[in-house]
Amino acid sequence: MKTDTPVTIRRSDYAPPTFLVDTVELDFDLDAASTTVRAKLALRRNPAAAADAPLHLDGDGLTLVQAKLDGVVLPPERLAFAGDGSLTIAGLLDVAVLETVVRIAPETNTSLSGLYTSGGNFYTQCEAEGFRRITFFPDRPDVMSRYTVTITADRARVPVLLSNGNPDGAGDAGEGRHRARWVDPHPKPSYLFALVAGDLVAVSDRFTTRSGRDVALNIWVRRGDEDRCGHAMDSLKRSMTWDEDIYGLEYDLDVFNIAAVSDFNMGAMENKGLNVFNTKYVLASQESATDGDWQGIETVIAHEYFHNWTGNRVTCRDWFQLSLKEGLTVFRDQEFSADMGSRAVKRIRDVRGLRAAQFPEDAGPMAHPVRPDSYIEIDNFYTPTVYQKGAEVVRLIHTRIGATAFRRGMDLYTARNDNQAVTIEDFVTAMQDASGIDLSAFYGWYDQAGTPELTASDSYDPATRRFTLTLRQQTPPTPGQPDKHPVPIPVAMGLLGPDGAPQATRLAGENAAQPGTRTLLLEGTEQSFVFEDVPAPPVPSLLRGFSAPVRLRGVTRDRLRFLAVHDTDPFVRWESGLQYAASVMLEMVAAQQRGEPLGFDAALAEAVANTLAAAGDDPAFAAEALSLPGEGFLADQMEIADPVAIHAVRQHLRAEIGRRCRPALRATYDALAETGPYRIDGTAIGRRALRNTCLAYLTAAGDGPLAKAQFDTATNMTDSLAALSLLADTDGAARDKALATFHARWRGDDLVLDKWFSIQAMAARPDAIAAVRALYTHPDFDLRNPNRARSLIGAFASGNPSQFHDLSGEGYRFLADAVIALDPINGSIAARLVGPLGQWRRQAAARGTLMRRELQRVLDTPNLSKGTFEKVSKALL
Ligand code: B3K
Ligand code: ZN
């Protein structure tokens, strides 16, 4: 939708719908150029609304053919259309039946919201506000209805007709057309509606729930993709079992359909009984999928499946409550993946992700609370804050009340709120009632933006054998929220003796000492905790398992080194190594800026040697421990980032560590060579990750032929791509040949071709911008396909900081050009891609000026989508 004066929607303005819709009958006559949608709505005045309030129906881009109220055609004067396409009808009785007929054009719908075509098939995407692009409806999540859907289409071209719920008959419709009917017995909001139709084939299986329901499972793909669905199906069955085992939650329909589509705005969508997935999160084979892809599929399949209870059965009252379903469901998928593999490694990866995306968001122009106060375009609020920080807040509550009470709280939450559209208060209240613990202070985490900073200081008194730990918190201001309050911060911790041995802890006032980890709760701005009977000055290990999404500041380098070696908590061991390296690297960045020699801290090489020596126990953990802090992570630690200096320092360190540790790196690399059959379990994935980390160091140290050899002989995509991405950073014939070989081998596979684009977009070579511009006009580039657009534009702007931030400003100009071209095609993706330009305040003035100029150029573009307008205008404030 285009508009000149975008309206801000405020949480405080919530008003209940004037009418409820008990049942919806939808009838689709499918045709790519012109589809007819008939809707019959059984309306009932909401007791919570005024007696004479009119009926408001959202609509966007619909051609109305006819509207009938209680069987009588409505004359034009009864229909009040607004500029945004919505329709208001006054003078309704308390109970009424509205029938509408509209026409829509799926094949020209490039926004991929509403009903659209991809490869000749039909798909829908309705969350958040896409249903209004299909028919007139109160398109808001607090209107829950029972749907019956009839689909008619050409039998030969569109043999498969799917919608939500259970199938309820199919038959001939004459003239080469056929028909199918679907009934969804569960009331649902319109954003969960789905229709998929076309020439698709199913990979099928079955699942019996623990109360004995026999469920047909189908994954619908295009012909030829059937042999790449096995992992998705296995992941689905594991998810179904896990939700029964951990939460007692069972599936509630006779079929569970998943349809995969290559043109899709995000990862996947949890429509009731008919999940629609980006092919990226369904299709995988040894040759085509990386280990990251395998893990991504498992996570996303689980996430969408878990929404069946946290999102679908219990949904959101309004979109400000989005984290009610998303934060909770991310928490659930994180726990699922932790149970399926290594809990420690999963936690490390999730924290890496949070810091890479959410921390910068919280420190930027779009900073918003987990529960935002206002938005212009809700699509812009499907963010790392709502998802990942939202999951951390659920985790805080889990930590605070414990796993048993949390499970009771979930039982209470689903029982009390089943088939209802509710708020974050309903979730917190259930957890509070189940635990008997007052959780009111936790609303601060939902309603306050910004990442709290936690600092710790301590003192030891040998005379009294007392150790005093003082914790302080402070949250920096964010746009619109200058003053911050303290939030409750659970700090999981332990004490280590001078020899590194874990100490039992006893706080003043406690009778017995506690072994292992305990959790302190910092509630105010500053609080001291006194430990008794401490025999010698200990080293505190804080924020074990990353028990709160905060920035822990000020741990000395000596202590970081000590903790990296001795702590019992794998997260703190990893974290301490990372923070140590970050502190050294930031010092080197300063040296580089002063034009001084970079030097080298031998402790880093020592740590690498130690990690390699112990790597056999847990290769996946070793791979994490060996990875230097990323460029984005380092930039986020600096008030004013210096992407070029950061890149130079990181390259220098990689080469230096590679040289100093060469024999050990090479020995590990050789020892981990794949021998047996290809496997994708945690151990096998960990071995490949560690081996490719070694390869990166060895390549940085000058061992170019090794990457080439690996590329030439790799038998799986993980190894092939790891080698290719290292080669892509080099110069010479081997690079060009490898890229050409890869393209020739994979040009028919869109998902792999995306990787080919990304690798080149992220290659930190001086000709990067020219290369990216050339790829933008490559015959295989397609701006309309979101995966492809992200693989080039997004990968460059977010994944190649030293080149994107080139002082010529050409990187910024490229991004703005692409956003301006994409916005009229797909405003949602354009708004997402423009993000990196918004971070101009964190760059030096020379760059910031250039970035703002490009933002202004985007803002000056006529007919900008609401979403892009919101991102750009807020960035310029
Ligand atoms: N709920 C969807 C996201 C919809 C995004 C709309 N712009 C996928 C998910 O979180 O599971
Ligand atoms: Zn979700």
* Structural domains of the chain, count: 4
Cα separation of 609 and 663, whole Å? 10
Contacts of 726 (CB under 8 A, 6+ apart): 695, 696, 699, 707
The chain-wide mean pLDDT, for the chain, equals 98
Q: Are 546 and 582 found together in one domain? A: no
Specify the pTM: 0.99
Q: Are 56 and 4 found together in one domain? A: yes
Cα separation of 726 and 310, whole Å? 41
Query: Is there an atom of ligand 1 within 6 Å of 127 CB?
Result: yes
Residue 581 lies in a domain: yes
Protein residue with its CA nearest to atom 3 in ligand 1:
269
Task: Identify the bridge partners of residue 149 per DSSP, sorted by sequence position.
Answer: 26, 182
Cα separation of 402 and 391, whole Å? 16
Average the pLDDT over 588-602 and give the result.
97
The pick from 112, 264, 269 for probing ligand 1's pocket by mutation, whose C-beta has the most ligand atoms within 8 angstroms, reads 269
pLDDT score recorded for residue 267: 98
pLDDT in tens, 782-812: 999 999 999 999 999 999 999 999 999 999 9
pLDDT in tens, 698-729: 999 999 899 999 999 999 999 999 999 999 99
Protein residue with its CA nearest to atom 9 in ligand 1:
269
User: Residue 666 corresponds to which amino acid?
Assistant: R
- Pick the ligand that lies closest to the CA of residue 192: 1
pLDDT in tens, 210-263: 999 999 999 999 999 999 999 999 999 999 999 999 999 999 999 999 999 999
pLDDT score recorded for residue 97: 98
User: Residue 132 corresponds to which amino acid?
Assistant: R
Q: What angle do CA 655, 661, 664 make, to 5 degrees?
A: 135
pLDDT score recorded for residue 704: 86
- Please give the number of the atom of ligand 1 that sits closest to the Cα of 127: 6
Q: Are 694 and 786 found together in one domain? A: no
Q: Are 152 and 9 found together in one domain? A: yes
Q: Are 22 and 145 found together in one domain? A: yes
Please answer whether residues 213 and 251 qualify as being in contact, where contact means their C-beta atoms are separated by less than 8 angstroms: yes
Range of the domain at 805: 747-877
pLDDT score recorded for residue 5: 78
Instruction: Identify the active-site residue in 129, 304, 335, 361.
Output: 304
Kindly tell me the burial class for residue 420, based on how many C-beta atoms sit within 10 Å of its own C-beta (0-12, 13-18, 19 or more): middle
Cα separation of 870 and 539, whole Å? 47
Cα separation of 148 and 163, whole Å? 9
Residue 641 lies in a domain: yes
Give, as one character, the DSSP assignment of residue 74: P
Q: Are 776 and 847 found together in one domain? A: yes
End-to-end CA distance of the chain, in Å? Answer: 23
* Residue 257 exposure: Cα atoms within 13 Å on the Cβ side: 25
Q: What CATH number corresponds to the domain at position 115? A: 2.60.40.1730
pLDDT in tens, 417-449: 999 999 999 999 999 999 999 999 999 999 999
Positions of E strands within 294-403: 314-316, 374-375
Protein residue with its CA nearest to atom 10 in ligand 1:
326
Protein residue with its CA nearest to atom 8 in ligand 1:
269
Q: What CATH number corresponds to the domain at position 598? A: 1.25.50.10
Query: Is there an atom of ligand 1 within 6 Å of 266 CB?
Result: yes
Residue 43 lies in a domain: yes
Please answer whether residues 751 and 721 qualify as being in contact, where contact means their C-beta atoms are separated by less than 8 angstroms: no
Query: Is there an atom of ligand 1 within 6 Å of 872 CB?
Result: no
Contacts of 165 (CB under 8 A, 6+ apart): 147, 149, 182, 183, 184, 185, 186, 253, 272, 273
Q: What CATH number corresponds to the domain at position 493? A: 2.60.40.1840
Q: Are 829 and 758 found together in one domain? A: yes
Q: Are 643 and 695 found together in one domain? A: yes
Select from 649, 725, 630, 664 the least CA-distant residue to 348: 630
Q: Are 824 and 688 found together in one domain? A: no
Parallel, antiparallel, or unpaired for β 314-316 and 420-422?
A: parallel
Q: Are 58 and 191 found together in one domain? A: yes
Residue 224 lies in a domain: no
Instruction: Check pLDDT > 60 for residue 3.
Output: no
* Residue 394 exposure: Cα atoms within 13 Å on the Cβ side: 29
The pick from 332, 378, 382, 385 for probing ligand 1's pocket by mutation, whose C-beta has the most ligand atoms within 8 angstroms, reads 382
Residue 590 lies in a domain: yes
Q: What are phi and psi of 104, to 5 degrees?
A: -135, 165
* Cα(110) to centroid(ligand 1), Å: 18
Instruction: Check pLDDT > 80 for residue 4.
Output: no
* Cα(270) to centroid(ligand 1), Å: 7
* Cα(146) to centroid(ligand 1), Å: 21
Cα separation of 218 and 243, whole Å? 19
Instruction: Check pLDDT > 60 for residue 1.
Output: no
Residue 322 lies in a domain: no
Last residue of a domain, one of 702, 736, 762: 702
pLDDT score recorded for residue 2: 44
Q: Is 304 tagged catalytic?
A: yes
Q: Are 654 and 765 found together in one domain? A: no
pLDDT in tens, 86-121: 999 999 999 999 999 999 999 999 999 999 999 999
Select from 658, 456, 637 the least CA-distant residue to 541: 456
Q: Are 658 and 775 found together in one domain? A: no
Cα separation of 421 and 311, whole Å? 9
* Longest CA span, the chain: 96
- Pick the ligand that lies closest to the CA of residue 382: 1
Angle between helix 717-728 and helix 750-761 axes, rounded to 10 deg: 30
Peptide bond into 128 cis (omega under 30): yes
Last residue of a domain, one of 181, 199, 217: 199
Last residue of a domain, one of 161, 181, 199: 199
Residue 616 lies in a domain: yes
Within its chain, how far is the Cα of 745 from the centroid? Answer: 30
pLDDT in tens, 280-329: 999 999 999 999 999 999 999 999 999 999 999 999 999 999 999 999 99
* Cα(325) to centroid(ligand 2), Å: 7
SS3 172: strand
pLDDT score recorded for residue 869: 98
* Cα(385) to centroid(ligand 2), Å: 13
pLDDT in tens, 326-365: 999 999 999 999 999 999 999 999 999 999 999 999 999 9
* Cα(432) to centroid(ligand 1), Å: 28
SS3 299: helix
- Please give the number of the atom of ligand 1 that sits closest to the Cα of 828: 7
Please answer whether residues 297 and 258 qualify as being in contact, where contact means their C-beta atoms are separated by less than 8 angstroms: no
Average the pLDDT over 556-584 and give the result.
98
Within its chain, how far is the Cα of 148 from the centroid? Answer: 32
Please answer whether residues 872 and 836 qualify as being in contact, where contact means their C-beta atoms are separated by less than 8 angstroms: no
Average the pLDDT over 562-582 and give the result.
98
Cα separation of 41 and 272, whole Å? 19
